[in-house]
Amino acid sequence: MTRAGCATPPQELLAYWLGELDEAREQSLEEHVFACAACTKRLAAIVDLGAAIRTELLGGAFSFVTSAPFIRRIKDAGWQVREYDLPAGGSVACTVTPDDDFVVSYLRAPLRDVRRLDVLIDDTTSGKHRVNDVAFDSESGTLAAVTSTVYVKGLGPSQRRVRLVAVDGVEERVIADYTFNHSPS
Amino acid sequence: MGLEATDTDDDAALARRISSRAPDRDAAAEAAICRRFGPRIRLYGLKHLRSEAAAADLMQDVLVMVLTKLRDGAVREPERLASFVLGMARQTVVDQQRGGRRRARILEAFPVDLMPAAEEAPEPIDTERLNLCLAALPERERSVLLMTFYDDRPADAVAAELKLTAGNVRVIRHRGLDRLRDCMTQAEGTT
């Protein structure tokens, strides 16, 4: 049965897809979706969008901040990950090869009392930009950042300077600076 | 009766048409059943088997079994056909998980010209636009969506990796997905 105007919220459909619902709710929603063309279409759209995101992610399309456990999962799945681990104030000569699927930087810094962390980037190729409110691990004092391999594989010699800034209300405090000196492989 | 008319028939009407025509085939009604339930069985298979190939096999197997039951007049409540099909899908997955391999036997016993080649093709996603829309998201929303869809991780698992609460991840994910879909929809509207 397809119910006209049926509007199971997308977040409920996604929760079903990800296995987040309790067994009773999962069964009842599954029965509803199976009988409802509109919900089938909405769920299929979410699933297809997720698959497209995964494909682009694995193709190296995105730069994003993540976590060390996520990178471990990617490596465990067999993807080739080039990693740079920098202490506060560190610099590194970096590159990328055609075999690399991901390029990851671990930026170490004292982050225990930081509430919000912003990243300021000054890149000789892409210019200056700021990334607000990134995820970080305050206990280990680590920010794990993936750089798009699509982007970095097209780079010539370049330098990227990265600054971590703690934000507390209107107050800003520089935590650490890092320098990446990139050369093509 | 043409295909368009068949697609407007409800489940019970299609089921009765197939049963009443047996032992002859009502090819239009059978094709409509395949078009209607094929995508639903595939989605069910993707969720529970996490494999496109396995989901495609499940779709094929279940449709064959359902059409066989309909031809045999073995579906007692045609108005509850969707529940019947879902039950078949669930049982088939359970059988597969137990190691039972009925597939070869099923396909041997049934002509394969009813396979749902007419399954609705999904709208292709504009990946260039997707990349732009993802790049435009706030960083935490992008992180959560990418970490979720990399391998369809639930909120509590993503939360553990990001040192957040599951509720917080759900809120971020919800906002990010809404923003992403709005961005993608706007793109469709402008093309």
The answer to whether the Cβ–Cβ distance between A34 and B148 falls below 8 Å is no
Summarize the confidence of residues B32-42 as an average pLDDT: 93
Q: Which tens digit of pLDDT belongs to each residue from B14-28?
A: 999 999 887 888 999
* pLDDT value at B38 more than 80: yes
* Sign of the Cα pseudo-torsion (B139, A90, A129, B186, in order): negative
DSSP A9: -
Sequential DSSP letters for A68-84: HHHHHHHHHTT--EEEE
Among the partner residues B40, B125, B156, nearest to A34 by beta-carbon distance: B40
Q: How far is the C-alpha of A159 from the C-alpha of A17, rounded, in Å?
A: 42
Among the partner residues A1, A43, A66, nearest to B43 by beta-carbon distance: A43
Sequential DSSP letters for B23-38: TS--HHHHHHHHHHHH
| Topology, domain A60-182 | Immunoglobulin-like (2.60.40)
Sequential DSSP letters for A34-50: HH-HHHHHHHHHHHHHH
- As for the ipTM of the complex, it is 0.93
- b/e per residue B72-89 (b: at least 16 CB within 10 A): eeebeebebbbebbbebb
- The answer to whether A160 and A122 have CB atoms below 8 angstroms apart is yes
* Higher-scoring residue by pLDDT: B190, A85: A85
- How confident is the model at residue B138, as a pLDDT? 96
The answer to whether the Cβ–Cβ distance between B125 and A57 falls below 8 Å is no
Partners of residue A159 on adjacent β-strands: A181
* Higher-scoring residue by pLDDT: A66, B98: A66
- How confident is the model at residue A185, as a pLDDT? 85
Task: Please state whether the peptide bond connecting residue B23 to the residue before it is cis, i.e. omega within 30 degrees of 0.
Answer: yes
**What chain B residue is nearest to A51 in terms of C-alpha separation?**
B149
Q: Which tens digit of pLDDT belongs to each residue from A147-171?
A: 999 999 999 999 999 999 999 999 9
- How confident is the model at residue B101, as a pLDDT? 55
- How confident is the model at residue A1, as a pLDDT? 45
Nearest to B151 by CA among A48, A22, A51: A51
Domain coordinates in residue numbering, chain B: 3-114, 127-190
- The answer to whether B143 and B178 have CB atoms below 8 angstroms apart is no
Partners of residue A174 on adjacent β-strands: A165
The CA-based diameter of chain B, rounded to the nearest angstrom, is: 62
Q: How far is the C-alpha of B167 from the C-alpha of A101, rounded, in Å?
A: 31
The answer to whether the Cβ–Cβ distance between B82 and A49 falls below 8 Å is no
The answer to whether the Cβ–Cβ distance between A66 and B148 falls below 8 Å is no
Q: How far is the C-alpha of A183 from the C-alpha of A94, rounded, in Å?
A: 6
The answer to whether the Cβ–Cβ distance between A18 and B152 falls below 8 Å is yes
**What chain A residue is nearest to B174 in terms of C-alpha separation?**
A11
Nearest to A62 by CA among A145, A155, A163: A145
CA distances from B184 to B127, B134, B187, B191 (A): 10, 10, 5, 11
Domain coordinates in residue numbering, chain A: 10-57, 60-182
Among the partner residues A34, A67, A74, nearest to B162 by beta-carbon distance: A67
AA letter at A37: A
- Chain A residues within an 8 Å CB radius of B140: 133-135
Q: How far is the C-alpha of A157 from the C-alpha of A82, rounded, in Å?
A: 18
Architecture of domain B127-190: Orthogonal Bundle (1.10)
pTM attached to this predicted model: 0.86
Among the partner residues A20, A57, A134, nearest to B146 by beta-carbon distance: A57
Q: How far is the C-alpha of A122 from the C-alpha of A160, rounded, in Å?
A: 6
**What chain A residue is nearest to B184 in terms of C-alpha separation?**
A49
The answer to whether the Cβ–Cβ distance between A18 and B155 falls below 8 Å is yes
Summarize the confidence of residues A24-47 as an average pLDDT: 93
Q: How far is the C-alpha of A66 from the C-alpha of A168, rounded, in Å?
A: 22
- How confident is the model at residue B24, as a pLDDT? 86
- Chain B residues within an 8 Å CB radius of A139: 163
Sequential DSSP letters for B105-127: HHHHTS-GGGS-TTPPPPPPP-H
Summarize the confidence of residues A31-56 as an average pLDDT: 93
The answer to whether the Cβ–Cβ distance between B138 and A132 falls below 8 Å is yes
Residue A19 CB contacts under 8 Å (≥ 6 apart), including other chains: A26, B47, B154
* pLDDT value at B120 more than 60: no
Residue A33, helix vs strand vs coil: helix
B122 confidence band (pLDDT: 50, 70, 90): low
